[in-house]
Structure formats: C-alpha cells, structure tokens
Structure 1
Amino acid sequence: MPESTARTIDELVRWHAAHDGDKPMVIDPAARISYRELDDSTADLAARFVEAGVGKGTRVGLIMPNSTRWAQVAIALTRIGAVLVPLSTLLQAGELATQLRVAAVQFLVSVEEFRGHRYLDDLEAVPQTELPALQRVWTAEQLDDAPASDAARRLIEVMTQTVTPADPLVIMFTSGSSGTPKGVIHSHGSALGAVRSGLAARCIGSDTRLYLPMPFFWVGGFGSGVLSALLAGATLVTEELPRPETTLRLLEREGVTLFRGWPDQAETLARHATSAGIELPALRPGSLEALLPPDQRAKPGARASLFGMTEAFGPYCGYPADTDMPGSAWGSCGKPFAGMEVRIVDVETGEPVPTGTAGMIQIRGPHTLRGICGRSREELFTPDGYYPTGDLGQLDDDGFLFYRGRSDDMFKVSGATVYPSEVERALRAIDGVDAAFVTNVPGAAGERVGAAVVCRALTAEQLRDRARGLLSAFKVPAVWLLLDSDDDVPRGGTGKVDVRRLRELLSDQP
C-alpha cells in the first residue's frame, strides 16, 4: 500500500518501516529513531499499554515536552486505536484538572517536572471525585518499567487491524482569544487527510529535514510536525526548549532543510546567527524567510500566510511556500486546500455574502473536526454541515482568502471598525518590532486601540509616529505597553494570548 493511501497511523508506520527503515524519523539533541525503530519501539510500548488495560477508544493523556519519546508514546497509542489527549506543559493545576475532566481521560502519562511545573504533585491535590474517569497515572520512567506479556504482544497485531479512518485519533485542546478551552475531536481520516492536503504547500517531501518550534501538544506541532513527517516519510528535528544558541547548532548539525514556525523566532535566530557567524546553507525556499539569504526572500505579502485552526487540524488554506502568489492575491492566505469548502456569511444573519465582501468564515469537508467534547453536532454545525469558525475574511474572484480578524475581537472606535490583526500586521512591519498584540481598551470617551509591543530600542512615541505612516488615524494605538520579550505576553494554558488579561494590563497604562 503506498503511503499516500494509508488511512491510519498504524498503516503509515508499517509502510515506512518497510520502505524507509533506516531513515531517521525524529531527532532530538539526545536521541534519534529510524522508521524501523519507530515500528518496533511503538509496538513494544503498545503492548505495555494493553497489558495495563488500554484498548481501542481508551482516552490517554500525555504531558511531555517535545522529544523522540513524545512521538513514540503518541504513535504507540494511536496505532492500537486509543485516543491521544495531548496536554500542554504550560497548564496550571486547575487547568490540568479541568482538561482531564472535560476529555474524560482514563490513563495519563506525564513527566514529573518541566520548567517548574510539577504535574503529578498538582494531581495529588485534586479530589478523586473530580476526576472520576482517571484510572492510572504513569511517569515516563514507570512506563519504561511496565511489563508486557506475550499475550499482550500477540494481541497488538489484531488490535491494529480493527482501527479504521472513522475512529477517533486525538482530542486536542484549543481556545479562542478568550473562553474555556475546547476538546476538539479528530479521527484518523480527518487528521491525516488535513495534513496530507497541505504537504505540498508547506514544501514537505520525503527528503525534507523539518524543524519547527511548536510544542507537540498543539496541532501546529502534532499535525504540522509529527504527522507531516510521518505522512511524507520526512525527518523531524525537535528539542525540548528552543533557545537561539542551541537551536542554531541543532539546525546546523542536523542539516535542517525546512524551518517552519513563528516568524519572530526566525528573526531572533537570524540575528544570533549573524553575530555568531553561523550559516545554514541547507535551508531551502519555503523556510521562514528571515533565515534565508536575501536573494531568496520574497517581497512583503507575496507569499501566503498559511491559515487554519485546530478544528480543521491545522492549515486549511495556503499556497506553495516557495512561490509568489499572483499580484492581486498578495496579502492573502492563499486558497483552500483540496477537501475543504469555504464560504463567507453575514455575521448577523448567517446568509452567504457576495464575493469580495467580508464576513464570517465557515468551513465544511472531510478534514473538519468530528466533534467537541460535551457538545452535540447540532450545537457545532449549521444545518447544511458548515462549521462557523468565528474568523472573519473575504474571498476574491479567484478564490484567494483574505483574513480580517476574529468576529469576537473586532471593535469600533468613533463608529469605525478596527480589526486587531490588521493593526498587528502593520506594527510588526516596523523595524525593531518583534511582536505586537492589539485589543480594545475601554475608556471614559469610548473604546481606544491598545497595543502591547515586544520591541528593541523604541519608545511609545516613536512607535506611534511610525504607525501613523502605516494606518488610518483611528487605527493608530492610543495606549501602549512595551515588553522586553514574548515571555511577558499573558497567555492561557493553550498558549494563546489571554486577551482579557492583556486588556487589563493595557488599561493600567497612562
């Protein structure tokens, strides 16, 4: 069976073990495993899980930083039809308990500590009555020592054959800019189909050595990293905690050919590479451009900004990352990938709007979510099967999608509509600005535009002057908060910006 038609995680693992056995599948600074080793080690891990009572449909949480071990545990579980529940290493005790309860997690694999978080200690303080589904917790070390009988090992072969594309694969937690995190359910078919549809646009092939900084507990790490490598037969390079010096050496040592991820991280790495005299000649077009030689960089807006969400299992709209779009499409997110229908509707009425008109984006197709924990299908989808994303956008005559922000984020200043994403893009274009986050700030005279900016050697007045040359007067922030690093930006447990807390910080500024 060609890998392009593999329908489940197990089928992919077996195919690549047979055809790409010696090729590294995932590499971290301390370990590497080939596709053949992935097959053997995950079958062994799966047998240990089965011996402990994990079966098809069992929900298993995983708290672990990026590593080869994370990939092994995740793939072992999903090969036998267990449902993986990746949990953020950023979660505080209350958030962890909530997500375990919402997803009805039955088994949990966790590191004891990471970056000051002691997850198992946090769980000991939670009354058992609050987590009625949870049966057992393993540390990574306990999992290594867990026994597996010959009967359990023989059972693996049978169990993998019962898994179908319709079976649940993963519950991924996400949240919008505010609100309670949602447990989004994807099947083997919806997740693999979504990832497969975007491989070409992301320039991922069998000879790719891919690095991206996203944690594997996000869809950007699991789908765009682990599953992308597995589908393409590529090699994934990862690390627990990205730092400029160690990341650059890792990219150099492993001959990384494709760097995807956050533009601000690429810009930070580029500055360090220059000062350290490090060159990355293996990087190819399609990588984030700050790390490419100047002659390989596109003009601003010429390349698509991949656009997606957890409910679509990552990007559902894009354009080849190494190719300029037609001039009329500059600044767009590209076109919807195969298997995804996109329509734009009026925010108030839900009726489709004419081409070129902004409205709410709705999506439909085989790659969309299968459900959300605790919510019915009728709550999630329109009668004709579209999922209202809450994102705003518009389609042009050629089918290119332009993103216009979130329907719950847009606000009015003196009667004029402000889209935070538009202001953020303009601020990020200012030399010296590493990141920008915009929201409304209530005041006695009405709403004001507020901006929290991570920047180097710029004052609020200098930022305001430069913004006036890029934005209409009513869009120029009136309230500024200057931050030293992205770590100072308030975020929730899923890593997204906590807009409520950001608004509070901005409200405290003069």
Structure 2
Amino acid sequence: MATSADSTTFGAPLDTVSELIGGPRIDDLLRRSARRSPRHPALVADGEVLDHAGLDGRVTRCAEALRGAFGGPETVIAIAAELTVDFAVTFLAISRSGNTSAMFNPLISDDALVHVLNACGARAAVLSPRMHRRIEAVRHRVPALRQIVVTSDAGDGTPVLDELPRAAVPDGEAARTACLQFTSGTTGAPKTVRLSHDNLLVNAAQSAHAHQLGADSVSLDNLPSFHLMHLNTALAVGATLLLCPAEDQEAMVELARAWRASHLYSLPVRLSRLAGDLRLPAFRIPSLRAVLSGGSTLPPRTTTALSEHFAVPVVQGYGLAETSPSTHFDLLDRPTTGSCGPPVAGTGCRIVDVRTGAVLPTGEKGEIQVKGPQLMLGYLGAGHGEAVRPDGWFSTGDVGRVDEEGRLTVVDRIKDVFKCDNWLVSPTEIERVLMRHPSVADCVVFDYPDELSGAVAVGLVVPMGDDVDPAALAGFVNARLPYYEHLRHLWLAESIPRSATGKVQRRDLRDRLLGKP
C-alpha cells in the first residue's frame, strides 16, 4: 500500500515469485520447461509448432553453431527483434553460448540502425535475409561488424546458421551482460541499456505473476515486433506463445480460437482498430481471460468496448527498457481504467518534485522514480553519468501520480520524446530529416494527442521561397523514417519562437495548437 509520507509503494514480496526463476541464465527457463513438459507446445508461428523439448534442442544446436562461428564468451551479437521463431531461438542460443545479444528494432531508419550497431560494438550479427539486405547497404558505416550469418539462404553466399560447424559450449558459462537493448534520450540518440541475466529472470517471474500466467496459459502476441518479456514470461511458467504479427483482425481471432488463447497482447492502436471493427460482434474467443496492452495509454473507449464484448479485463502496464521492462501492471481482478496498476513484486515506486527531487505525498503529480531487482546494470559507454542513484532509485523522465492503493497513473512526459504505438519518437531526429529538404529554412516537431496511437508527430515549417507544399515535405520525411515517426500534420509558419540560446519550447507550441491557456 502507498504511504502518505513518501508515496513509496512496493509490490508483493519477491519470494512470491521465486519459484518461477529458472537458473543463472535466461535460457535456463527453457531448459527447465523442457524437463517438466517436453511435449507441451512452446512456440507457434506461421504453421510451425515447436514443443519445449524441440525448442530446447534447436537452441542448443544454434548455440553450438554460434560458438563455432563467433567464439566467446561475451561476444556482442546483433539480432533484429522480428516476431519470428528464428528470433526466439537465436536470442536464447546467444545466452546459452555464453555471449551477449544486442536487440534492435527492425523498423528503425538506416541512420538509427548504424548508430545502434556502432554504439553496442557488435562484432557479429545473425539476421533474416531481409534484415541482411538492409545492413549490407550500410555495412561500410559499421566498421566493427566483422561477421554476419543468416537464418536462411540469402542467395549471395552469406553463411547460413544451420550449416555452420559447431563447437562445444562450456557448461554454466554466462556473460555478465545478457542483453543490450536501446532506448532514446532527449536528443533522440538511443542509449544502450545493459541488462543482466538476473534482471531478465526476475522480471520474467514478476511479469508472469502479475499477468496471472500458468502452464495452461496460451499467450497470443499481435505485435509488429518481438517484445522479449512475452517470450520470457511464457518460458517461466511453461506456457504456449503464439506469434501473430499481421494486422488482419479476423486472422488474429481465428488463431486465438484455434489455440484457445487465454491472453491477448497487442498495442493500443491495434486494439482500438479491433474495437472499431464492424465485424467485432462476430469475433468470439471463449477461452480468453485478459486483453493486455502496453506502451501508450489505451483509450478508455477501447477499454470499455473490448471489455464488454469479450467479458474479460482489458488492462495496461508500465515499464522501460531500463527495467527489463516491467515495473507496474494493473490488477486483473480489479482493473482501473487509465491506470497502470501497482508495482510488480519487489518493486518500489515514488513520485518526486520535477525540480527539487523532493518526495511528494500520495496523489500529487511529479516525476516517477522506480527501484527493484529488474533495474539495469547501467548504460553502455561514456557520457551517461550515474543513471541509478546511490540509494537505488531511477528517474524515469515520466510524470505520474500514485493513488492510495499504490496504483500508478502516467500523465505526461518530461522529455521531448514521446511514444507512438509503443515506440519512442524523437522530434529532434525528425527535424534533422526535415532540414535536409532544400525548401525548409527552419522547423520544429512535437507530439500531438492521438486516440489510437497515444501521440503522433506534427510540425511547423518556415519555408524557403514560395509555393512550398506541406504535404510534399511530410512525404519527403515519411519516406525516410519508420511509420511511427511519420509526420501526420505539417503547417507553414513565418517564424518559430526560440529562446536567446536558440531553444524552442515544444510544449508551449503544442499547447497553443491545442488552444490551452
């Protein structure tokens, strides 16, 4: 429960989830599930079904191939988080081989791709043929990347993973940093987050407990890319994970019915489209126990529509790359619309004054700080300072409030970055692309509320010359960026207000556009 003195809230004790933590490495979750229920389906995608024993054997073979190709321990191996069986196998195999995975978003722009590959120091990469073609086009800008293998024949002679000679992996060997993930700072330059095996194992247990997952659960991921938490939570309890990247609502419902899905995971934008689908009255999933959303806030109208239709709780949580990722999740038994719920087991949360850092009483808005065993080892590279305070608290950069029952509501963001469909968006990065156009003299990009996506990018442009078409400028930008960074609206302006130091107040401009005082 929250205390009125310091708004600090702790979830259930960690010993309530300790039985779900499977070993010293994250892939040990799979090893345990393979022993307990070898023939129980583990992963289902595109008609392929892998039981726990089959998945475990495939991971071992892949680990031996990776050790033979890249050596170890602690070689950084880059992988694209595509929602495929190959990604799950490769991620677990990198762990089993004693090396470190560097997961990157397959939807990012080429410039961002170059940045993250250089930032993490990846010497090797395991890629699908599609991602291999993208990286080959920019490989000359990533000098440290020496070796690439593909998961299936790319047609250009690149070594194929299954055809590599294997090498034995020493028993029990583990990299201190299990995984590198990427996030964005105020400038839009992604930071490299270092996560340990303990971080991932604990958060898998915390999240599985909060989501009420068990061995009989069937989780369906209707997402554009792989979110590692869903794989780890399913393995922690020996559940089945269905992968469904397509946006086809009918196909998703048919897959859920065929496999008797209990948990549906998706993004607010997809869930809102499902809620507004004229075919919704015919969509029935009798086995469904919960609909779970993450990233941007789920619109209340969507929550109500889906909850009433499926007669299950529709809930959301909160987390960050730095927290492996989950820190909060709403209560399935007592959901509160708009809330991210209380902290997951063993997690602390408090609200502090944005300017002074003083702890605020229950109910007041301020910056969200969190602490717990899922908190990262730190950022990779120099120049980030001490991200975690000496007393263990981490400042999230988000603004929220905590109620008397310890439930968190996220209300705003301190930084200029915002989330669109669960992806962090940097206005600065969009501005950099916009400024490449010869007709742009000055510009500013900021977030604008959107019921489906949480927020979208909009901007003002000071044109250079006459007859400048805002739609053409937006098209120029959107062709060079992933969909969630697309400019939805663009207006022409005579000038952009700036401070004496040249800084623009994005929030002020946004408020003016919204008509706020």
String of CA shifts for 1:275-321, please: whole Å, max 9, x gaps.
Answer: 694422221245575555537256xxxx7531111111222012323
CA contact (8 A) 1:110 1:120 kept: no
Partner of 2:180: 171
Q: Confirm or deny that 1:138 pairs with 2:138.
A: no
Tell me how far apart the structure 2 counterparts of residues 196 and 274 of structure 1 sit (CA, whole Å): 36
Closer/same/farther in 2, CA of residues 277 and 317 from structure 1, 3 Å limit = closer
Partner of 1:323: 334
Tell me how far apart the structure 2 counterparts of residues 55 and 321 of structure 1 sit (CA, whole Å): 43
Tell me by how many angstroms 1:95 deviates. Answer: 1.9
CA contact (8 A) 2:183 2:190 kept: yes
2:125 to 108, 111, 122: 108
1:372 to 375, 379, 385: 379
Q: Confirm or deny that 1:20 pairs with 2:64.
A: no
Partner of 2:355: 348
Closer/same/farther in 2, CA of residues 400 and 441 from structure 1, 3 Å limit = same
String of CA shifts for 1:9-29, please: whole Å, max 9, x gaps.
Answer: 232222111111001111002
1:437 to 427, 432, 455: 455
Tell me by how many angstroms 1:229 deviates. Answer: 0.9
Tell me how far apart the structure 1 counterparts of residues 315 and 245 of structure 2 sit (CA, whole Å): 29
CA contact (8 A) 1:177 1:497 kept: no
Tell me by how many angstroms 1:338 deviates. Answer: 2.1
Closer/same/farther in 2, CA of residues 492 and 230 from structure 1, 3 Å limit = farther
Tell me how far apart the structure 2 counterparts of residues 107 and 307 of structure 1 sit (CA, whole Å): 32
CA contact (8 A) 1:195 1:314 kept: no
- Which ranges of structure 1 fall in alignment gaps of 5 or more residues? 412-419, 429-433, 445-480
1:247 to 238, 246, 252: 252
CA root-mean-square deviation: 3.6
Letter in 2 for 1:397: E
Instruction: Tell me whether 204-213 or 6-15 shows the greater mean CA deviation.
Output: 6-15
Tell me how far apart the structure 1 counterparts of residues 190 and 417 of structure 2 sit (CA, whole Å): 21
Q: Confirm or deny that 1:37 pairs with 2:46.
A: no
Instruction: Tell me whether 68-77 or 91-100 shows the greater mean CA deviation.
Output: 91-100
Q: Confirm or deny that 1:397 pairs with 2:393.
A: no
Q: Partner of 1:138: helix, strand, or coil?
A: strand
Closer/same/farther in 2, CA of residues 250 and 331 from structure 1, 3 Å limit = closer
Tell me how far apart the structure 1 counterparts of residues 49 and 129 of structure 2 sit (CA, whole Å): 22
Tell me how far apart the structure 1 counterparts of residues 136 and 311 of structure 2 sit (CA, whole Å): 50
Letter in 2 for 1:106: R
- Which ranges of structure 2 fall in alignment gaps of 5 or more residues? 1-17, 153-158, 294-302, 419-445, 463-469, 494-512
Tell me by how many angstroms 1:228 deviates. Answer: 1.2
Q: Partner of 1:199: helix, strand, or coil?
A: helix
Q: TM-score, normalised by structure 2?
A: 0.72
Partner of 1:468: none
Partner of 1:186: 195
1:119 to 108, 130, 134: 134
1:407 to 411, 414, 439: 414
Tell me how far apart the structure 2 counterparts of residues 195 and 176 of structure 1 sit (CA, whole Å): 26
Q: Partner of 1:226: helix, strand, or coil?
A: helix
Alignment of 1:57-456 (within 5 A): 57-63=74-80, 65-113=82-130, 118-123=133-138, 126-127=139-140, 130-141=141-152, 142-149=159-166, 152=167, 155-156=168-169, 158-159=170-171, 161-163=172-174, 167-175=176-184, 179-217=188-226, 221-223=227-229, 225-272=230-277, 274=279, 277-286=282-291, 290-291=305-306, 294=309, 296=311, 305-325=316-336, 331-375=338-382, 378-409=385-416, 424=449, 428=451, 434-437=452-455
Percent of counterpart pairs with the same letter?
24
Tell me how far apart the structure 2 counterparts of residues 354 and 2 of structure 1 sit (CA, whole Å): 35
Tell me how far apart the structure 2 counterparts of residues 248 and 488 of structure 1 sit (CA, whole Å): 36
Tell me how far apart the structure 2 counterparts of residues 16 and 185 of structure 1 sit (CA, whole Å): 26
Partner of 1:478: none
Tell me how far apart the structure 1 counterparts of residues 45 and 354 of structure 2 sit (CA, whole Å): 45
Larger RCO (CA within 8 A; separation ≥ 6): 2
CA contact (8 A) 1:210 1:234 kept: yes
Closer/same/farther in 2, CA of residues 375 and 385 from structure 1, 3 Å limit = farther
Tell me how far apart the structure 2 counterparts of residues 506 and 389 of structure 1 sit (CA, whole Å): 32
CA contact (8 A) 1:2 1:15 kept: no
Q: Partner of 2:257: helix, strand, or coil?
A: helix
Q: Partner of 1:307: helix, strand, or coil?
A: strand
Q: TM-score, normalised by structure 1?
A: 0.73
Tell me by how many angstroms 1:405 deviates. Answer: 0.9
CA contact (8 A) 2:291 2:315 kept: no
Letter in 1 for 2:137: D
CA contact (8 A) 2:274 2:280 kept: no
Tell me by how many angstroms 1:273 deviates. Answer: 7.5
CA contact (8 A) 1:25 1:33 kept: yes
